[in-house]
Structure 1
Amino acid sequence: MKILHITSGFAGIYGGIAHALNGLSMAQARQGHEVTVIAATKAGEEGITFKPQDVELVIIKQDIFNKVWNSHAASLRNVIRKRISEFDIIHIHGIWHHPSYVAANVARKMQKPFILSPHGSLAPWCLQYKRVKKKAYFELVQKRQLQHATLVHALTEAERGYIKKLVPDTIVKIVPNGIDIQPDLNENEIIEFRRKYPWIKVGRFILFLGRIHPKKGLDVLVKAFAGAKRRGIEHLLVIAGNDEIGWRSELEKLAWKCGVGKEIYFVGQIEGSEKRCMLETCDFLILPSYSEGFSMAILEAMAHAKPVIFSSGCDMSELINEGIGITANPNETEMEKAILELALNKELSKRMGRKARELVLRKYSWDIIANNVIDMYEEAIEIFRFRG
């Protein structure tokens, strides 16, 4: 099958969508499909853009109008128009931005089946964030794109519900994200990690992995961590992720106000062996988001046999049923209680971690998920043909 993926930023700093597409595209290529990714990226990001193996990558530079329309790239339309006839299916990742608008319009006008993946962006919290702009854009543009899509891809049953509530007549299929199981770290990678982070002690820190953004509930995390420290835990807190909108300084002020300024480390965006070392040596991962799709960070932690604490805003209910994680509402009291439960119970933490890795191997490897996505593509192509 010839597959075209279209997205905006295609680097780790953009969070889960970029990581998910990187893994999915490589898995599809391994299975023998011809895969192309067209990504609208900012100037200067060439060095950090993902370069998936055996996948054709077409980079379109965003222009000055991206300040008005997210990820705007004037040349994108012509590139897609010239190439779109080559492909059997068009898969558009993300909404609200210029690339998804252009790709959906071109696919519809040139009569090609296309799938739209919101990646959790239609959850209630997300719709309330910058509510006025999103409401107008949804009614004028986004709703019609969802209606015109051959089908819409949801990551979870909860996301399917959000989409159907907004656009009842659209066809929605559920396929979760996946994860690649990485090889063991080599000695040089471990030595370099210890050199860069000499203050880290194995099993003595809690890890947050994700963008620094109000959606992620980091203000709640700082307060909950401070409360847990007062109750006697010895852990540090490591916050690893891109400071997307300049919120880090506010969180640092909050940390000092709560008395834990020396115990919280902001290490910026991490990738590759550095991220794997961080996951390998942490005690557990915590994700206190107000809203989250099928989290790539949680899957990465599970692949490293780490338990997770996640908020009720994360669509990860299966983990509770499997005995893998602890869920809590995104407030200071409940998050503090969850931190104490895992930090003070090593046996529980190890047991959850073992179950987490077993579940990933059984159900969430990218090779398994890629097969399910191909099944979704084949169904979309049949639907498109039936509609004529």
Structure 2
Amino acid sequence: MGGPPQVAMNLVWALQQLGVDAEILTTNHDGATELDVPLTQRVNYQFREDGATVPVWFMPFKRPALKEFLFSPAATRWLWQNAQNYDVLDNHYLFCYAPTCAAAIARWHRVPYTVRTMGQLTPWALSQRLVKKQVYAALIERRNLDRAAAIHCTAPSEVEDVRNFGVDTPTLTLPLGVSPLIEIEDARSLIHEKYQISDATPIVLFLSRLHPKKRPELLLQSLHHLASQGLSFHAILAGDGDPAYVKKLHTIAQSLNLSDRITFPGLVLGKLKDCLLQGADLFVLPSFSENFGIAVAEALNARLPVVITPGIQIAPEIEAADAGLVVEETVESLALAIEQLLMKPYLREKLGKNGQHLAQSRYSWQAIAQQLIPAYRAIAARQPLPKEPCFQPISCPIFDKKTQIC
């Protein structure tokens, strides 16, 4: 289901490595299907190929699922019975039933809670299904935000979004993280062989959910512009999405005479995903809005130069680190940036090296968890948030109970 679940699982895993007893509550929703997992019991769920597991309570949800709302009476009952057993509830995402319900129940049981907005308060995100969100916010979500102990933002621009929404709750600004890189020496040859791409042809990678928010259509138009100039490239648009929208993208690619230059492999995970990140020549994500952009950080970590738009909230950090190209949201600007990287291998090498340094120094899950722990400790003790983040490793348990992420 994209980046947000990966964030929750990696964060809980990192907290556990530092001695925090943390668990996840979620549903068994998996898009059009349901996860084949035990329900209403604690499961050690493996989420990475390196064997990393996190404790998860999966609850059934009611179909039909309304987008990502995922109404779950079972989650309500479980939270009502168990919320008071935790020191902190960390509510992950907005406009979704489980975290919304968790905040209300936490207040009833006087359990402090935090909220991670995950980019849902950006102007673009709020404009989607505007009336429903306005009603939902007025009735429920604004109160949840106002009464939270803290709001976890991933960039200064996300703090601005919170304030512009009229919420004065204390904020904690910490980025999200990336998993450790497992290097694959022959990644490039594996990818060229798998997708039958000539060794001399550079690969442009789009790795994200296929959704209008991510603007793959803008990328296709830019690639058409480059193809008309005779540039050599092959683009891989990896990700899944609504079948009707994916079909539309195939039709657009065909109408632009890009069919022999484009591959749509669908959702990629595990080693294949790592191969794509390490075997491609550059990464492009022209999103309208991204609160952080996990896929961008993963590309940086894989030493892959990135081309992004200002709507990705870590764009200023990437620009300051000279780790990628941040361009305006036009066909011409995007095409020019891609052309620069296709034509200048030395520039790709420079940006890639800077990007990997940025990712490994700034976007480490362990470093982020280390900085979250003092905040959780203060919240559990009903004290103000620490003024400065703590960068010292903490390796012992700090709670009498647990931290719950919903």
Q: Same fold (TM over 0.5)?
A: yes
1:72-87 aligned within 5 A = 72-87=71-86
Corresponding position: 1:287 with 2:277:
no
Matched to 1:160, the amino acid is: V
> How far apart are residue 372 of structure 1 and its match?
1.3
Q: Is the 8 A contact 2:378 2:384 kept in 1?
A: no
Contact 1:70 1:98 in 2 (8 A): yes
Deviates more, 1:202-211 or 1:157-166: 202-211
**Matching residue of 2:203:** 205
2:336, 2:375 → 1: CA distance?
41
Shift of 1:162: 0.5
Aligned pair partner of 1:239 in 237, 240, 259: 237
Distance 2:189 2:227 in 1: 29
Shift of 1:200: 6.6
1:169 aligns with 2:168: yes
Partner of 1:34: 21
Q: Counterparts in 2 of 1:1-388, with a 5 A limit? A: 14-42=1-29, 44-46=34-36, 51=47, 53-67=52-66, 70-185=69-184, 196-199=194-197, 201=199, 204-244=202-242, 246-316=244-314, 317-383=316-382
Q: Secondary structure at the match of 2:223?
A: helix
* 1:170 Cα deviation after fit: 1.4
Matched AA of 2:166: V
The alpha-carbon deviation at position 191 of structure 1 amounts to: 8.6
Q: Percent identity?
A: 22
CA separation of 1:281/1:68 partners in 2, compared to 1, >3 Å: closer, same or farther?
closer
Q: Report the residue type matching 1:339 in the other structure.
A: I
**Do the aligned residues in 2 keep the contact of 1:22 with 1:50 (CA within 8 Å)?**
no
Q: CA deviation at 1:179?
A: 1.0
* Structure 1 residue matching 2:65: 3-state secondary structure: helix
Unaligned runs of 5+ in 2: 38-44, 386-406
Paired residue total: 371
Q: CA deviation at 1:383?
A: 4.1
Hey, what's the Cα distance between the residues in 2 that align with 1:245 and 1:109?
41
> Is the 1:309–1:326 contact (alpha carbons within 8 Å) kept by the matching residues of 2?
yes
Asked whether the equivalents of residues 113 and 380 of structure 1 are also in contact (C-alpha less than 8 Å), the reply is yes
TM-score, length basis structure 1: 0.89
Deviates more, 1:303-312 or 1:130-139: 130-139
TM-aligned CA distance change 1:303 to 1:167, over 3 Å = same
Give the partner amino acid of 1:100: P
CA distance in 2, matches of 1:274, 1:202: 21
2:390 is aligned to none
Aligned CA RMSD, in angstroms, stands at 2.3
Cα distance change on mapping 1:368 and 1:207 into 2, 3 Å: same
Tell me, in whole angstroms, the C-alpha distance in 1 between the residues paired with 2:22 and 2:285.
Answer: 32
Moved more, 82-91 or 122-131: 82-91
* TM-score (normalizing by structure 2): 0.86
Structure 1 residues 283 and 192: CA distance shift in structure 2, 3 A: closer
